[in-house]
Amino acid sequence: MEKINYAAMKPVQPSKGKVKEEKETLAINGMKGVKHVIAIASGKGGVGKSTIAVNLAVALALEGYKVGLADADIYGPSVPILTGTLDMQPRVDAIDDNVQVFEPVEKFGVKWISIGYFARPEQALIWRGPMASSALKQLLQQTKWGELDFLLIDLPPGTGDIHLSLMQDIPLTGGIVVTT
């Protein structure tokens, strides 16, 4: 199956001086049914953060919760590999010429979304901080999550623009820090 071109996401450079109300569009309603948003972070790579995120998502689903997991590691997405969903594709529906919504992949009772579904493995994403943050925000808000008890966000390792933007733009309920 051919990979969807990540250009469908159309991330844009964020504009300065926008008020919160102006940021909200029809597409942002994707997170409206999400009760709890939990970010999963680590100070460095290779500590098992994505493994913990995936296993926590499946464990919560097995307990009867409605769960989604967003792979926010724009530069090194691993959730499609860890979940065995690399060959699956989220459906992309166009609302208009500028806005698409994404139907997450479902497996193990969990809804999954990742930039890894949109970019081919040999395609390097060379996005600076603001562009990567914009792509993540778009991925989170333009995904049709439906009603969820938990949305887990598997962050990239370290700290940086993506982490700061997430804290400013997405209402987090809590966080988990994975250490060695």
DSSP letter assigned to residue 11: -
pLDDT digits (tens, 9 = 90+) for 141-170: 889 999 999 999 998 887 777 777 777 778
The rounded distance, in Å, linking the Cα atoms of 42 and 154 is 10
* CATH assignment, 31-178: 3.40.50.300
Q: In the chain, what are the domain boundaries?
A: 31-178
- Given this model, what pLDDT does residue 56 score? 98
When the pLDDT of each residue in the chain is averaged and rounded to a whole number, the result is: 80
Query: Which residue positions in the chain have pLDDT lower than 50?
Result: 1-6, 17-28
pLDDT tens-digit readout, 51-69: 999 999 999 999 999 999 9
pTM: 0.78
